[in-house]
Structures are given as C-alpha cells and as structure tokens.
Structure 1
Amino acid sequence: MEETREIPLKGQMTEGKIGRQLLLFALPLMFSNLCQQLYNTVDAVIVGRFVGANALAAVGASSLLITFMIYFFIGLSIGASVLISQFFGSRKYDKVQEAVHTAVALSLAAGLALTVLGLTLAPAMLRMMNIPEAGLAYAVPYIRIYFLGMIPMTLYNIGSGILRAVGDSKTPLACLVVTVVLNIGLDLLFVGPLGMGVAGAALATAFSQLAAAVLIVIILLRADPIYRLRLAKIRFHAQVFRDIVRIGLPAGLQSVLVCFSNVVVQSQINTFGLEVMAGFTAYMKIDGFLFMPIDAFCLAISNFVGQNMGAGRWERVVKGKNVCLLLCVGVTIGLGAAIILNACLILGMFTSDETVVLNGMRQLYTVVPLYGIYAADQVFVGVLRGAGATVIPMIITLLCMCGLRLGWIFTTLRFVHDARMIYISYPLTWIVTGAVLVLYYYKGSWRPEKAGFKNRKYLKRSC
C-alpha cells in the first residue's frame, strides 16, 4: 500500500480547529454511551420492577464482577487503538493493516478465554463477594448466561476501537443504536411477558452483543482499504502484537485493578444488607451517566494525541489537552448539578422502597458534587495513553486510587461501621490521584523534550 496516500479528511485530526474536532469526535461517543447507559438503566428498572429488589441487588453485584473480568481486554484494545491512531497519523498504512488484523485476532482469543473463565470461575467469585444466598439465586444464572456472549462483545469493542482510531466515531454509534433498541425490546419480552427473570435479561444482552459484532464486522469488511478487514489476513503480527501489549498491558492492568478495588468495595457494601446493596446499584446506574462525557472525551483526546504524536504535532497535543479539560470538566459539572437537583425523582425510578432510595441519595450527595475532579484526572490519563505512556499512570492509579481507597475503607470501617465511609473514599482518592497525575504530566520522562521527540521545532512554542 502506498505510504504517500493522503489521510482521508474524515479521519484527519492533525489539522484544523481542535475544539470542533474533539466535539465532533466526542459527541457520537457520548450518545453511544448514553444509549448503552439507557439500556443498563432500563435493564435495572425492568429487573427491579418485575423481579424485585433482591434481583436488582444481585444483578448490580454481577455487573461489577463482569466488568472486572473484561477490563483487561478493554485495556489491550486501548493499546491497539492508540497504535493504529499513531500509524494512521504518521501515514504508515501498511502498519495500520497489520495492527487491524492483529487486533481482531486478539479479540477472538480474548473472547474465548473470557468465556471459559466466566463460566468456570464467576460463580465461585460471586460467593467470595459476600452476596447473601437470596441474591446468589439470581446472580449465578445471570452471570453464566452473560458470559456466553463474550466473543461477540470483544469483536464489537475492537472493531469500534479500529474505527475510532482513524477518526470515525459515528459508525460505532449507528451499530450501537440498533443493538440497544434490540436489547431493550428483548429485555421487555423475556423478563416481562415470558417471565424469564434475570436469565431473560442476560439472554437479551447476549443476543444484542451478537448483533453488534455482526454489524461491526460487516462494516470493517467494506471499509476504506487503509483499515479494511480481510478475513484471510487475521493473524498475530509479532512486532505489532508486542507494541499493543506494551501500550495496552499497563492500561489493562490499571483497569483490572481499579475494578478489583471496586469489587472489594462491593463486597464491603454487601455486608450492610440488601437494601444498601440495592441503593448502591441504583446509584451506580446514575453514576454511569456522569461517566459518559468523561469516557467520550478521554477516548477523543487519546485518539487526537495518538494521531498528532504520530505526525510530530506536539503543539496541538498541548492545546488539545487544555481544550479537552475545559470541555470535559464543564460538561461533567453541569450534568452533575442536574442529577443532584433531581436525585429523589431519578432514584425513585428504580424502586418504590424508601429505604433503598435513601441509601442511594446518601451516596449521590457525597460523590457527585466532586465528580469534576475525576473528569480532569481522566483527561490527563487520556493524553498520556495517546502518547503511549501507560506504565506510570498505571502505577499512580494503583497507589493513589486503589491502594488509598481500600486502605481508607478497611481502616475507617473498623471504627465507624457506616456505608458513608465507603462513599467518601471516592472523592478523596480522586483528589490525590489528580495531584500526582498533573505532576507527572508536567515533569515526567514521557515529555518530548525528555524523550527525544522527533519534531523539536514545536517545543519552543509549547508549554
């Protein structure tokens, strides 16, 4: 493939207005996240209303364990996306092809491994999370069925990552809209009229993941030749695979260990009983809406930085970081304010149990007012990931977020057995993590002037 071919305007992020590019990239991601979160919320509402509070609590605990088990692959997919965006930005289109086919091979292998691990280990892990027996009756069948859809899930995620790496965030959105509508429809059918309970909710998710995978594969088979998928070429390219692991492994470990800390947090929440568990589950569904713009802008800045680092445009990396901070923090604060003002109404959608609503409101009022700090943290993480610097952010996250959070929880609960001690750990660790991430961003060895960046002429004009 010719190295001199011009980058398609659709995917180019190395020229033009930064704010406009970030918004155009992030808005479809936000809408994608909104669709996904709406499904997750509708799923919780359907389970809570049709099956009961015990089922709602069990599905919430199961979802956290599912997230824990798939996050390592999601980290590796971040490595693939960053690598593809860097090759795309530097116009190394033969390397783009190698990275695309290696990433798809990785998704198939990871999906198979996750299916086996989920079916064999998940039930035992649920029991280790202190879930009451009344909840296990719902959680075990839910998680076993859910893990049957792991290969389609990994295929969809890696396919979406490939498209986003070349600047296309609209096509994954279109696929997601179709599958979310299908998911909600099947949820209503299986859990409602057919009375299949939580097993029906899991089946609906598995079928919708299969539909999403089929759609994304068809699109990649017909994509631009630069990043088109060719089934006969799916295999591991050794050097590209090593680079994906080098970038993605720290991100994967970071995601897994952060999620592991959340699993430990969930196990401590479970000691307070099903009403607190249900309140925690309801709040976490709301928390997902707050995370939507953060995740979208984090992915946007990672791909933006990847392309611009590949093209040697350091001054745009710096400007992009500043613009993304303003956008991400501003949107998060505005959305958080709207949620706080309507907290009782929103939590009341999940259950009519006043005690459950009260427990959810306690967490919401503790965490949401400081969510803007977490938004800023993730923008810095996105910049560093896009530049390929993932090891130190992983260490910072492990020590300052996971380690400090668990240390705080286990220490304070010895003296004050109150779930609010758990809620406080979130903003506390965001503040500490943010301070250290900012220090590394400005002083770390990843910076171009310290790492021998190839385009030094930009350094004099950037901070």
Structure 2
Amino acid sequence: MATPPKTRPQARDLTSGPIGRTLLLFALPTLGANVLQSLNGSINAIWIGRLLGESALAATSNANLVMFLMFSLGFGFGMAATILVGQSMGARDIVGARRAFGTAMGLFTIVSVVIAVAGWLLAPHLLRLLSTPPAAQAFALAYLRVIFLALPPMFLGLMISMALRGTGDSITPFWFMILNVAIDAGLNPFFIRGFGPLPPLGIAGSAMTTLIANYVVLIGVTIYIYARNLPIRLRGSEWRFLLPDPALLRVIVVKGLPMGLQMLVMSFSALVMIGLVNRAGVETTAAYGVAQQLWTYVQMPAMAIGAAVSAMAAQNIGARRWDRVGRITTVGVAVNVAMTAAILLVIFVSDHATMALFVGRGSPAIPIAIHIQKIASWSFILFGITLVLFATVRANGAVFAPLLILAFGVFVARIAFAWALMPRFGTEVLWWSFPFGSSITAVMAVLYYRYGNWRARGLVGATIEAEAAQDQASADGEAGGRLNPAA
C-alpha cells in the first residue's frame, strides 16, 4: 500500500497485528508516565518537607486530597470520552472521534473553570471541613488556591492524553509527562526559596511550578498535535464540536460518573482501612504506611495494562472485531500477572533493604511490614486480573456492574470481613482481608465477563449510526476525513 499523504491524520491501528507486541508497546509508555507522575509527587514532597518543614508537608497532603477527589470525577468522564474516541477510531470514523473529543474538551473547559473559581473562593471552608491542623492552615490555603488555578490546564491536559491513547498513541503523553516532571520538579526549589530577582514564594511557589508546568505542557501538546496533524485536531467547521453535543454529553456523564465513583470507592475504603489499622498502634500504622508505599508501584502494571486493554478493546469493538477482543483480554491478563509477579518477587527478595529506605534499618516497623507483605501483597495479582476484565467490559460502555462489584468487594468482602473478625483474631485479620476481598472481587469479575450482557451495544453503537449521515457528509468534503483501513 502506498504511504499516506503527510496531510492525512496519523493514528495507530489497534485492530490488526500481533496482540501481545501491540499491547506491550502501548502499555510500557503508559506505565512510564504513571511512574513519572508518582515520582514527581514524591520529589515535590521532598522539596517542601526539606525546605519548609512538616507543617507545609501536612498542608500539601490536605490540599492534594481535595484535588484527588476532583480528579476522580474528571478521570471518569475522561475515560468515557476516551472509549468513545477509541470505538470511533476502530469504526474508521475520524469525524465521530473528533466530535467526541470536542464535546469532552468543551465539557472539561467549562467544568474546570467553574471549579477553579469556586475553589479559590471556598478553599478556607474546604480546609476547615477536612479538619486541617491549625499549624498547616495558612500553608494549605496558599498552596490550594494556586493549585485550583492550575486545574484547567490539568484537566484539559488529562483529557488530551486520554484521547490520544484512544487513538492508539501512548508515546506522545509519555514525552509530555517527562516535560511536565522536568519543569515542575526542577523549578520547585527556586520558586520556594527564591533565585536572583525571583522572591521566595514558599509553599505557593511549589504550587506555582505545578501551574507553570501544566500550562507549558498544554500549549506544547496542542502545538504538537497540529504540527503532526494528529487525528484529534479540530479545524474549520469542526470547531463547533467544542460546543458539547447533548447526545454525546449524556453518554460521557452517564458512563463517566460510575467510573469516577470507582476511584472514590477505593479511596474511601482506604480511609476506613487506615482507621482500623490505627487501632493497632504507631508501629503497625508505620508498617502499613511502608507497605502502601510499595503497593503504589505494585499496582502500576495493572493500571497501565488496563489502560492498554481498554484502548485496544474499544477500537476492536468499534471495528466489530470481537474475536480480537477476547484475545486482547486473555493476553492482557497474562501480561499483567507476569509483570506484577515479577515486581512482587523483587520486593520479597529485597524486602528489608527496601523498607529500610522509609523507616531506617533498626525500625521495629520493618518486621511487621514484611509480615503484611507476605500475606497481602500477592492479592494485587488478583486485583490486576479484575482491572483488566473491567477495562474490557467498560470499553463497551458497561460501567455500573464493575462499580457494584468493586463496591461489594471492598466494603463487604474486605472491610466488613475485617470489622467483624478483628475483635476475635486481632490485627492479623486486617492483612488477610486483602486476599479475601480480592478473591471475591476477581471471581465476580470473571463471572460477569463470562456470562454478563456487557457485549450488547453499549457506548457508541446507536450514537454513531444516528449521526452517520451527517458525519459522512462532513468526511466526504475533507481530505482524510475517514481513516483508511490498515493494510
């Protein structure tokens, strides 16, 4: 087949080729971006803690909790839009993909600006609602208000990254995440302490670097998209797509809300669990904190593989390649099990040395943390299997069943199990609640994947067909309006 003209939008076709290789090439940049994002937060926390002290560090924890709650809903809406984009790309309907992307960007712009203004005004009330310690109140207010101003580019950058992944491009978000981390972490000490004519800004300076980094990345990725003529770029009459389409907006909200709630369910269950752990004393709490630090990295392969499976499944569902959807899921589960098991093996072999990085070699928390790891950590293999299965079913718009299964798994099979048996068996039951809850959730996820009705027409389906005539008319008048099938 002849090489397409340079003016034709470029996208990665995930509906053909070897599944394992394609999945890995897609997932590894996503994994790298997740690691960089976590490292960025850790580096910024180190700068704040070392330069401004514990009160400032506590302030960022309170402010970041508020932002996480905002991003949970933003992530859900972004996932719904990403799946719309992916299914449209799989159906070779590039105008439909741009329509979905435009609606999502219009929604994110409006919502992020409203939240930024409201957050600036209501920040003191939010911090009081969180019972922020008095010593951290002033720090938290200064930090949170600037972070709220950074919310619009954060939200829009998140949407662009997720939409690019929907088109099959996970490399571009990775490169711009590197740029984000370099600017944010690199400028932190200069803005906190001052440099040359720049006065010391304290904790507000740390938030200011986040704001600058996100605006630079947003502008940079926009320029890159148009310079490379990527599929999600909007031109001419397509700018009207930024006015949210009611039908697509309804899909994004109805499907995105349950996906955002899944993150909130996990966060709330983590708060309940830490409340139970706190009853066991400081050493056990410290040990659990060390385990959680390691679990952050143990979960990353599952998150990356889940994102890859979701994008690949969405495109293949759009292309009606159901034979590949099943194989994508199987390969995703196998790759995730292998990667998660490899990370766990490294942690188990070097457990004492790794944990000593957090609490010191002589800490009495280390033996407790090692014990927690041996009982609970392997459950993240089951968690990864569940995540991959959910990624596939969500790719066709089935979002309520995963939410209900997850809620049952963490609140009934894990929290209630620990709560009921803890008076009799002590803190030991807390660690066993992880494999117990994960096993129940994985079994329910497998049963739903195997026997549920999620394969029925879901997210795009009728929306694409109802608008096919209008999209076809637009596409016929535009060079490269429809993607040509891959060779």
Using structure 1 for the length normalisation, give the TM-score. 0.83
- Matching residue of 1:400: 409
Q: Does 1:370 align with 2:379?
A: yes
Separation in 2, partners of 1:430, 1:55? 36
1:78-110 deviation line (CA, Å, top 9, x unaligned): 000001110110112221121111111121123
Q: Does 1:381 align with 2:382?
A: no
The 5-angstrom pairing of residues 417-432 of structure 1 reads: 424-432=432-440
421-430 or 17-26, larger mean C-alpha shift: 421-430
The 5-angstrom pairing of residues 45-444 of structure 1 reads: 45-52=46-53, 56=57, 59-60=60-61, 62-116=63-117, 118-119=119-120, 124=125, 133=134, 139-191=140-192, 198-224=203-229, 226-230=231-235, 232-233=239-240, 234-266=242-274, 283-350=291-358, 358=366, 364-408=373-417, 410-411=419-420, 424-444=432-452
- Matching residue of 1:458: none
1:149-206 deviation line (CA, Å, top 9, x unaligned): 1111101110011111111111111111111111111233345677766544333323
Retained in 2: the 8 A contact 1:131–1:270? no
Retained in 2: the 8 A contact 1:119–1:147? yes
Retained in 1: the 8 A contact 2:10–2:229? no
Give the CA deviation at 1:405: 3.9
166-175 or 45-54, larger mean C-alpha shift: 45-54
Partner of 1:12: helix, strand, or coil? coil
Give the CA deviation at 1:363: 5.2
Partner of 1:11: helix, strand, or coil? coil
Give the CA deviation at 1:429: 2.2
- Matching residue of 1:461: none
Separation in 1, partners of 2:413, 2:123? 27
Separation in 2, partners of 1:178, 1:333? 31
Partner of 1:104: helix, strand, or coil? helix
Partner of 1:15: helix, strand, or coil? coil
Gap regions ≥5 residues in structure 2: 463-487
Percent of paired sites with the same residue: 28
- Matching residue of 2:485: none
Separation in 1, partners of 2:176, 2:68? 21
Partner of 2:150: helix, strand, or coil? helix
Give the CA deviation at 1:22: 0.4
Gap regions ≥5 residues in structure 1: 455-463
Retained in 2: the 8 A contact 1:258–1:402? no
Give the CA deviation at 1:15: 0.9
Separation in 2, partners of 1:206, 1:450? 37
CA gap of 1:225–1:447, structure 2 versus 1, over 3 A, is closer
19-28 or 368-377, larger mean C-alpha shift: 368-377
Give the CA deviation at 1:276: 7.0
- Matching residue of 2:478: none
Separation in 1, partners of 2:354, 2:250? 46
Separation in 2, partners of 1:79, 1:345? 41
Q: Indicate the RMSD between aligned Cα atoms, in angstroms.
A: 3.6
Partner of 1:312: helix, strand, or coil? coil
CA gap of 1:423–1:213, structure 2 versus 1, over 3 A, is farther
1:337-363 deviation line (CA, Å, top 9, x unaligned): 223333444444456596596476665
114-123 or 26-35, larger mean C-alpha shift: 114-123
CA gap of 1:318–1:339, structure 2 versus 1, over 3 A, is same
Give the CA deviation at 1:306: 0.5
142-151 or 338-347, larger mean C-alpha shift: 338-347
Separation in 1, partners of 2:120, 2:435? 35
Separation in 1, partners of 2:142, 2:102? 34
Separation in 1, partners of 2:145, 2:66? 12
221-230 or 309-318, larger mean C-alpha shift: 221-230
Separation in 2, partners of 1:413, 1:131? 30
Counterpart AA for 2:409: C
CA gap of 1:128–1:323, structure 2 versus 1, over 3 A, is same
Retained in 1: the 8 A contact 2:379–2:439? no
Separation in 2, partners of 1:160, 1:311? 22
Partner of 1:29: helix, strand, or coil? helix
CA gap of 1:263–1:193, structure 2 versus 1, over 3 A, is farther
Separation in 2, partners of 1:244, 1:416? 45
Separation in 2, partners of 1:145, 1:252? 24
Retained in 2: the 8 A contact 1:131–1:267? no
Using structure 2 for the length normalisation, give the TM-score. 0.80
Partner of 2:168: helix, strand, or coil? coil
Retained in 2: the 8 A contact 1:54–1:278? no
Separation in 2, partners of 1:61, 1:265? 18
CA gap of 1:199–1:278, structure 2 versus 1, over 3 A, is farther
Separation in 2, partners of 1:261, 1:31? 27
Separation in 2, partners of 1:316, 1:377? 19
